[in-house]
Chains A and B, each alone.
Chain A
Amino acid sequence: MTIYQNNVPQANDIVSESQSDFQFNHISENAFYGFDHKRFNDPDNPGKHAKVTYFDQNDGAGGGQPTTTNDEIAIYAYRNDNVITNPYRVNLRARYQNNVATEDIGIAPFAAAYFGFIGTAAPTFLSYFGPVLNIDQAVSARTGANSILLQFLTPAANTDYFVMAQIESSNVGSAVDVIPQVTVKTVNSFRLQVPSAMPFATQRISFNVFEN
């Protein structure tokens, strides 16, 4: 017996026949449940999650996007359709539903970075300090005095993604306007642009990208 037996005991079994099935099922329940959860026999926190592993619902074995009712929200993983490999990209998404519509949004950043610049002349490659998620560091670079190309490793599913961007600059009193603007969005890259040149070496930019 190698897999969980969900049809034991049979009506005509006697206990001596079913005992091993009973015990195997109890052991299996404890172990399988324990993959993501604190186990049934955990003395302190039984039933809570240690982690939550989401299997791609766009994989052949997946069930597709979840079906929800009006009083539910479903968190699920779904592969970006544009690129299957190099690298495989699974997004964490939420499905909201109400009486009007069903909406799906990305809830974990699809791409993210906290970066600054190595020098002041273009093209100057970027220097990353914090998270670098799904950004091709070998290609992303400053392409002018006020424009920064950020290229995805795995393309976005479409160009309806949204970008949350913020400058960090301690140059108090600088005349430079450094609010980053998102321009030229494609499935492969986007640009962050500022109206005029800035002293890059002393400034850093945070961004998170969420797929729609």
Chain B
Amino acid sequence: MTFDPTKPEADDILSDSQADLLANYGQQDVVFGVDHVAFSATEDRGKHNKATLHFDDAVQSPPMPSMTEITEYPHLNDNNRINGNVIYGSTQEIVNHVPFAIAYIELLAANAISAFGNSVNFNIAGSSHTNNTVSMVFNVSPNNANYQVFVTPGTNAGYANLGTVRVANQTVNGFDILGQNFSVGTIEFYIFVYEV
């Protein structure tokens, strides 16, 4: 049974409406409790446990917050991927604030790549490397090639000179990381991708 905002009716008597009222109170408690601490909890009532952003075609997207507001909302990209965006009310500027793809990779000698570390592997279908190029492939493509990529080298067990570490060849399918001595020792990279 779903919440019924029309209860009680004007000509109801309490014995008629009691079940509806009871159901609505119960439903309010359950529904509010999906993302919040439920009304019926003994502590912290009304606070959020989480915020699940559910995309709905019927809801205007992006929303239009007022000047003193900022709104987080789910954005559906062309390839059926929900992204976390924010829109600033004063300027209606939009920015993706949840990375579209994340990877923590280890480059091993002999051009191998270790299993993605610590399960930090989001929307990356695969990768490979040579001595001067790491190729990353998305699982789900971004809308276009104008996404942002940030790469930070981590542990460099071989103490190799990596040269200029830079991003190259951005396409909707993936991108490359260029440098040198990628096949020397064990080298880590932290990678964050933000969609436009």
Residues of chain B touching chain A, judged by Cβ–Cβ distance below 8 Å, are 2-10, 12-14, 17, 21, 24, 27-28, 30-35, 47, 51-54, 56, 59, 63, 65, 67-74, 86, 88-91, 93-97, 132-133, 146-151, 164-170, 175, 178, 192, 194, 196
Q: A33-B32, A90-B68 are contacts. A130–B2 as well, Cβ < 8 Å?
A: no
Check A108 against B95 for contact (C-beta < 8 Å). yes
Check B71 against A131 for contact (C-beta < 8 Å). no
Check A29 against B28 for contact (C-beta < 8 Å). yes
Judge whether A2 is part of the interface by a CB distance below 8 angstroms.
Answer: no
Judge whether A142 is part of the interface by a CB distance below 8 angstroms.
Answer: no
Q: A46-B34, A89-B90, A172-B178 are contacts. A178–B95 as well, Cβ < 8 Å?
A: no
Judge whether A96 is part of the interface by a CB distance below 8 angstroms.
Answer: no
Check A42 against B2 for contact (C-beta < 8 Å). yes
Check A15 against B17 for contact (C-beta < 8 Å). yes
Residues of chain A touching chain B, judged by Cβ–Cβ distance below 8 Å, are 15, 19-20, 22-23, 26-27, 29-30, 33, 37-43, 45-56, 59, 72, 75, 77, 79, 87-92, 107-109, 112, 114, 129-134, 153, 164-172, 176-179, 206-208
CA of A129 to CA of B144 in the docked complex: distance in angstroms?
Answer: 10
Check A114 against B30 for contact (C-beta < 8 Å). no
- In the A-B complex, list the 10 residue pairs whose CB atoms are closest, starting with the nearest: A47-B34, A40-B3, A206-B148, A51-B73, A108-B97, A88-B90, A47-B31, A130-B146, A87-B90, A41-B3
Check B86 against A108 for contact (C-beta < 8 Å). yes
Check A131 against B68 for contact (C-beta < 8 Å). no
Residues of chain A with a CB closer than 8 A to B194's CB: 112, 131, 206, 208
CA of A109 to CA of B13 in the docked complex: distance in angstroms?
Answer: 56
Contact of A87 among B4, B10, B91 (CB under 8 A): B91
CB distance from B72 to the nearest CB of A (A): 5
Check B68 against A109 for contact (C-beta < 8 Å). no
Residues of chain A with a CB closer than 8 A to B28's CB: 29, 40
Check B54 against A26 for contact (C-beta < 8 Å). no
CA of A117 to CA of B151 in the docked complex: distance in angstroms?
Answer: 22
Check A178 against B71 for contact (C-beta < 8 Å). no
CA of A52 to CA of B59 in the docked complex: distance in angstroms?
Answer: 13
CB distance from A30 to the nearest CB of B (A): 4
Contact of B150 among A49, A131, A206 (CB under 8 A): A206
Q: A166-B150, A169-B167 are contacts. A40–B7 as well, Cβ < 8 Å?
A: no
Check A19 against B10 for contact (C-beta < 8 Å). yes
Check B68 against A52 for contact (C-beta < 8 Å). no
CA of A15 to CA of B16 in the docked complex: distance in angstroms?
Answer: 11
Q: A47-B35, A54-B71, A114-B196 are contacts. A166–B149 as well, Cβ < 8 Å?
A: yes
Residue of B nearest to A166 (CB): B150
Residues of chain A with a CB closer than 8 A to B53's CB: 48-52
Residues of chain A with a CB closer than 8 A to B175's CB: 168
